[in-house]
Structure 1
Amino acid sequence: MPASSNDAPTPVKIRPTQRVHSAEIPSGSDLELRQRIAVANAKLQSAAWLIEVLEDLSRCESFVSACHLVTDHLRRHLSAQRVVYIQAETDRPNRVVAVTDTPAIDQESDLARLYCQVAVECADSDQIRIASAVLAQPTESIVGYAQQQLSENQGDVLAIPLFDSQSEPLGCILIVGRVGTLVSHDGLTEFASAIRGPITSVLSQNQRAEGGRWEQLRQRISGLTPSRKLAVLIVSVTAVAAMFVPVTHNVTSDFEVQPTTRNFHVAPFDGLLREMNVVAGDEVVPAQCLARMEDRELLLQIDELNAKRLELAKSQDQEWIAHRAAEAVAAGLQIEQIDAKLSLFNQRLARTELNVSKAGIVLQAPLEDRQNVPVHQGDVIFEIAPLEQLRAAALIPGHDIHHIQTGMQVDLDIDGLGGSSIMGTIDRIMPQATAVNQQHGFIVHCTIDNRDGRLRPGMNGVAKVDAGTKSLGWVLFHRPFDRIARWW
């Protein structure tokens, strides 16, 4: 049976083969055009940034604020870690004026000195230089030693020296970034060269407009109203007249309370120190027992000598009875030797107690924490000073010693007395200068009456010596004038 039309096979549709086309590759002229557009955009952005910075600088009231503004703008624009401005000085060392991440910097610190050294190197070369650890080791003719050292410690360092219109160094800008960030920044050196001139011009104008201190003072006075100018004139005349007012010239110095005399108690003989009855700081009275020496060995020796003497005395009597005069005389000589030893041992026995001869305070007791310690004759066991009369030892500097004389009154303000002071009189000036706590001067002694017992040796305070009457101007300025005279 023939097949029906419904059973006929469905014709297959054949699709055309799809081809994959390669991506279109721009030609060399397109790449060059894009690069030019990118460079132009970067220059436009830099120009807009520079215009904004110059506009802000024109509103700055001082040179220091202008330096801070420049460093802040550079840090934000370049995404740097730190920007530093170092001001060049003609008659003084360079100084760090502005640091972005530090409100104040110590000019004597090692980091500030390193910044200033980099500025000096850049001023000598007059070149914009960049140092980085990712670059090949540069020669000293390209990057100075200080800049290379700073780069090793902090990262990439770009140094931009600034010069005024007379080619005199104005300062230096240091831009510090992480390692590799500044080196990889395209056109950074060209950007620094482009902004150096305008920024230098504006900063130089700010510095000239600010002027020196006298110029600033003159500008402030000229801006005052007539009434305020009159007030300034009256105050100035009054200040000058006050320089001739006679005042008391006081020479001040630190002092220490010291004893006038010191009594040393030493070991009377070689032996053992059995006990100590006082310690440093104790007050003692006459006849008080300070310490005791061990006496058992002395007592044994005395008993032994007494027994031997008794035996010799009996032997001598027997020799006399037997009419042996020579033997009797020899026994008598031995008895005399024993008597001499007994006298010595009895004297030592009487001195086993160390008693106070004069009332005072124990200053030192080196063996106070020891018992049964062996000592030798002459070893210091106690140092005692009387308290009825003390002295203040003040160190007067050499430039003031010629104003000091014996007999001058001294006001002693002693620490620990609640602000009360004691009057004294200078009774001795040491003839030779000495050094105390790295300060040179002459020791001046002032006797203090301490019968009330308020003072102790070792107390400190401030001594104010009445050196006569001088004019206020002389008191304030005689020392600077003396230094200038010696220098001149």
Structure 2
Amino acid sequence: MNVPSGTSTRDLDGHAWSAFTSASSDEAFCSAWLTLQCAIIPGVLAGLLLLRDKLGQSYVPAAVWPDSRRDLAYLTGAAERTLAERRGTVLGLDPGDTERIPSGTVHVGYPVETDAEVMGAVVLDLRTRPEPELQAVLRQLLWGAGWLEALLRKRQIARDAAVLERASIALDLVQAVQEHRNLGPAAMALVNELATLVKADRISLGVERNGKLELRAISRTAWFDRKSQLVETIENAMEEAIDQEAGVAWPVLPGPRGKVNVAQRDLAVRSGAAAVLTVPLVSGGRPMGALTLERNQGPEFDATSLMLCQVIAELLGPTLEIRLDGERWFAGRIVEKLAEWRDKLIGPRQPAIKLGAVLLLSAILFLVVAEGAFRVSARTFVEGAVQRAAVAPFDGYVRDAFVRAGDTVRQGEILATLDDRDLKLEQVKWETEKEQVARKYREALAKRDRAAYRVLAAQLSQAEAQLALIEEKLVRTQLVAPFDGVVVSGDLSQMLGAPVEKGKVLFELAPLDKYRVILTVDERDIAYVAGGQRGELALTGITGGTLPFVVKTVTSVSTAQEGRNFFRVEAQLENASARLRPGMEGVGKVSVDERPLIWIWTRNFVNWARISLWTWLP
């Protein structure tokens, strides 16, 4: 607001209040406010009001007093200090300020804040005055800043309302698109609905497919010739916006930097449109199509229209791409995903993906080049090198049982006894029989009855043989350990008094100093195992270390387990642990040779793939 020369203070005050109350724009309001403050505060030489720009990145002059053409750059020092300290400041009172501020004047600044955020500052160039009067100036600016705060809040409310309106429009369009599964109907619903909302005469939608832009829908048009000149011109306008990754308009929108809009202008000339706007459709951070809006008459597209269309494009881009993917063949989707990953790898963004790719390639290269020990793993159990069975020597009954499976025994220790009562009765019988025959034999000798004593001699030998047999059976009623070892199987403690048949295995024993290792090797790995190879055994019952062994025999005996065949491989321990017991189980690994790590880790899968491929191929 420029002040006419010769205006009195009262007239200036009246003019300022009149302009302030009737301001029709933010610029007029700020100018009238600053003029009013300068009129109320006496001795003001110049005034400057700074407010944040629309982008919120810097402070720009919102009003200058008394003449808007006057250069007030000398007040920027006070403004910067006020903005930095976020409080009222006075420059010119300290002796050090005399170099920047002329004598007899002071610079008074006061911040403009909303919600504890500095939005600007007002700086006045005043004649020097006492400190109480300077305090009054700061109070006046404090009271006056409330009007600016109301203006800024009004601006924010207007911006919020615009955002809500854009969000409402965008949600309506999202709902319209979500009602259709296929891209064609969804695109047509989008352009028709958007044309009504933004009052556009024609809206076109195109998508990229196989690296080429293709027009898919035109508002209020059921069919169009894809090879026509107009369609080609629209596609050129879309490609122009996609190449710049920004919205492009004709006529040009005001902005910090110009954009190439040759294709937009050509479209306007060819179609007779007064205004053209094209925005890219974005999905996953990259353009996947574009929207082109045309108006034959009416207002040109402004920054608000551009922002609305950009919001719609960012919201609906992923939805449209999902429907576009639904039209592709499976192979096409794979190619698209590969191209997407290629762009992420060679593009300027996504450093984490690039780092991950480098690490993955390094790991694969390491696995291909590096070699490691190739070992065949197999389920393993330990058994005694020799196993001796304690069997029932004759039909009888169990009398006592002194050991059971797992007990350690010494050579000659009694394992169990059989009932000997019948044998002793039979022994008494044959002893009596022997005495009777012996007496008769002596009588026959005395009578010199040669025929009789020969018969009696045979009967006496029979009795002696029966006694010897019974005595042997009595000895064998005690089952004794043939050597120092451990009872592998057998428990008669629950069978006392039970009958046993001759030859029935009652106990199995194994020595404690001689063992052999049995490995059950998968048929897929048996070809790699040979005699003489070394390996290590880890047992479940002996933790904290491994036991070395040497493969002795690869047998041809196989057993089926869990749907696969396993071959029996025998090995010998090199150093037997004192805690080792027959029957222990664990995992054994046979060292074969050195192979590439990637071959070691993928051989089972490769072999499976070969068999499967051979099975299915004709």
TM-score between both structures, scaled by the size of structure 1: 0.55
Say if 1:418 and 1:328 are closer, same or farther in 2 by CA, change over 3 A. Answer: closer
CA distance, structure 2, for counterparts of residue 242 and residue 323 of structure 1: 105
| 5+ long unaligned stretches in structure 2 | 1-170, 182-318
Q: Residue 405 of structure 1 aligns with which residue?
A: 530
Q: Residue 573 of structure 2 aligns with which residue?
A: 448
Secondary structure of the 1:432 match is strand
> Which of 261, 284, 291 matches 2:386?
261
> Which of 221, 227, 248 matches 2:345?
221
Amino acid at match of 2:447: A
CA shift, 1:236, in A, is 2.1
**Cα deviations by residue, 1:25-45 (Å, 9 ceiling, x for unpaired):** xxxxxxxxxxxxxxxxxxxxx
Amino acid at match of 1:470: R
Q: Residue 227 of structure 2 aligns with which residue?
A: none
Superposition pairs of residues 7-406 of structure 1, within 5 angstroms: 52=175, 54=177, 203-207=322-326, 211-212=333-334, 214-225=338-349, 231=355, 232-233=357-358, 236=361, 239-240=364-365, 242-406=367-531
Contact 2:344 2:353 in 1 (8 A): no
Contact 1:411 1:463 in 2 (8 A): yes
Amino acid at match of 1:221: L
Q: Residue 482 of structure 1 aligns with which residue?
A: 607
Q: Residue 28 of structure 1 aligns with which residue?
A: none
Name the Cα RMSD after superposition.
Answer: 3.2
**Cα deviations by residue, 1:66-120 (Å, 9 ceiling, x for unpaired):** xxxxxxxxxxxxxxxxxxxxxxxxxxxxxxxxxxxxxxxxxxxxxxxxxxxxxxx
Secondary structure of the 2:403 match is coil
CA shift, 1:387, in A, is 2.1
**Cα deviations by residue, 1:180-239 (Å, 9 ceiling, x for unpaired):** xxxxxxxxxxxxxxxxxxxx9875324468933534533432445497787545752563
**More displaced stretch, 384-393 vs 270-279:** 384-393
Amino acid at match of 2:177: L
Contact 2:378 2:587 in 1 (8 A): yes
CA shift, 1:449, in A, is 5.1
Amino acid at match of 1:251: V
Say if 1:234 and 1:346 are closer, same or farther in 2 by CA, change over 3 A. Answer: closer
CA distance, structure 2, for counterparts of residue 376 and residue 55 of structure 1: 84
CA distance, structure 1, for counterparts of residue 462 and residue 528 of structure 2: 67
Say if 1:426 and 1:53 are closer, same or farther in 2 by CA, change over 3 A. Answer: farther
CA shift, 1:478, in A, is 3.2
CA shift, 1:355, in A, is 0.8
Larger RCO (CA under 8 A, 6+ residues apart): 1
**Cα deviations by residue, 1:375-413 (Å, 9 ceiling, x for unpaired):** 121111111111212223222222221111111111212
Q: Residue 427 of structure 1 aligns with which residue?
A: 552
CA distance, structure 1, for counterparts of residue 587 and residue 339 of structure 2: 42
CA shift, 1:287, in A, is 0.6
CA shift, 1:426, in A, is 1.1
**Cα deviations by residue, 1:300-358 (Å, 9 ceiling, x for unpaired):** 21122112211111112222222322122211111111111111111111211111111
Say if 1:226 and 1:266 are closer, same or farther in 2 by CA, change over 3 A. Answer: closer
Amino acid at match of 1:52: Q
Aligned residues: 301
CA distance, structure 1, for counterparts of residue 361 and residue 474 of structure 2: 83
CA distance, structure 2, for counterparts of residue 296 and residue 237 of structure 1: 83
Q: Residue 460 of structure 1 aligns with which residue?
A: 585
Contact 2:548 2:574 in 1 (8 A): no
CA distance, structure 2, for counterparts of residue 320 and residue 415 of structure 1: 76
Say if 1:280 and 1:479 are closer, same or farther in 2 by CA, change over 3 A. Answer: closer
Contact 1:391 1:446 in 2 (8 A): yes
Contact 2:345 2:354 in 1 (8 A): no
Structure with higher helix content = 2
Contact 1:257 1:460 in 2 (8 A): yes
CA distance, structure 1, for counterparts of residue 384 and residue 180 of structure 2: 68
Identity over the aligned pairs, expressed in percent? 24
Say if 1:214 and 1:460 are closer, same or farther in 2 by CA, change over 3 A. Answer: farther
Say if 1:479 and 1:216 are closer, same or farther in 2 by CA, change over 3 A. Answer: farther
CA shift, 1:51, in A, is 5.2
CA shift, 1:459, in A, is 2.1
Say if 1:478 and 1:280 are closer, same or farther in 2 by CA, change over 3 A. Answer: closer
Contact 1:284 1:356 in 2 (8 A): yes
| 5+ long unaligned stretches in structure 1 | 1-47, 59-199
CA distance, structure 2, for counterparts of residue 370 and residue 217 of structure 1: 74
CA distance, structure 2, for counterparts of residue 229 and residue 281 of structure 1: 60
**More displaced stretch, 414-423 vs 463-472:** 414-423
Secondary structure of the 2:544 match is coil
Contact 1:389 1:449 in 2 (8 A): no
Secondary structure of the 2:438 match is helix
CA distance, structure 1, for counterparts of residue 430 and residue 494 of structure 2: 35
Amino acid at match of 1:461: G
CA shift, 1:261, in A, is 2.0
Say if 1:435 and 1:235 are closer, same or farther in 2 by CA, change over 3 A. Answer: closer
Q: Residue 130 of structure 2 aligns with which residue?
A: none
CA distance, structure 1, for counterparts of residue 478 and residue 400 of structure 2: 10
CA distance, structure 1, for counterparts of residue 564 and residue 424 of structure 2: 56
CA distance, structure 2, for counterparts of residue 450 and residue 383 of structure 1: 24
Amino acid at match of 1:54: V
CA distance, structure 2, for counterparts of residue 296 and residue 205 of structure 1: 97
CA shift, 1:437, in A, is 4.3
Amino acid at match of 2:508: E
Q: Residue 38 of structure 1 aligns with which residue?
A: none
Say if 1:57 and 1:282 are closer, same or farther in 2 by CA, change over 3 A. Answer: farther
Contact 1:248 1:467 in 2 (8 A): yes
Secondary structure of the 2:547 match is strand
Contact 1:257 1:459 in 2 (8 A): yes
Structure showing greater Rg: 2
Amino acid at match of 1:205: L
Amino acid at match of 2:595: K
